Amino acid sequence: MKIKKGDKVVVLAGKDRGKTGKVLKVLLDKQRVTVEGVNIHHKNTRPRRQNEKGQKVEFPASVHVSNVALLDGGKATRIGYRMEGTKKVRIAKKSKQVI
């Protein structure tokens, strides 16, 4: 997968189209990524102890990797690879810069 944890991405499709955020988690087997502040879901939790209240917990759910693109200079770009000596590096397709 070309998107890695910590990359700054923009959402291309869905209810959060146009939003940007940092990749928090990558699920390789399902080809999904979790992006900070995108696709926020709610979960109601029950009180576990006496005198404790139940609450509504917010958490970011994953989106498919095809619906996000890497940000390069404020614009979405695709990712390619290039060999520099014996090392394989990721490059931005638009600017040809090493990521």
Each residue's pLDDT tens digit, 80-96: 999 999 999 999 999 89
Q: Where along the chain do its domains lie?
A: 8-92
Could you tell me the maximum CA-CA distance found in the chain, to the nearest angstrom? 63
Res 55 pLDDT > 90: yes
Fold of 8-92: SH3 type barrels. (2.30.30)
Q: What is the pLDDT of residue 99?
A: 85
Contact between 60 and 33 (Cβ < 8 Å): no
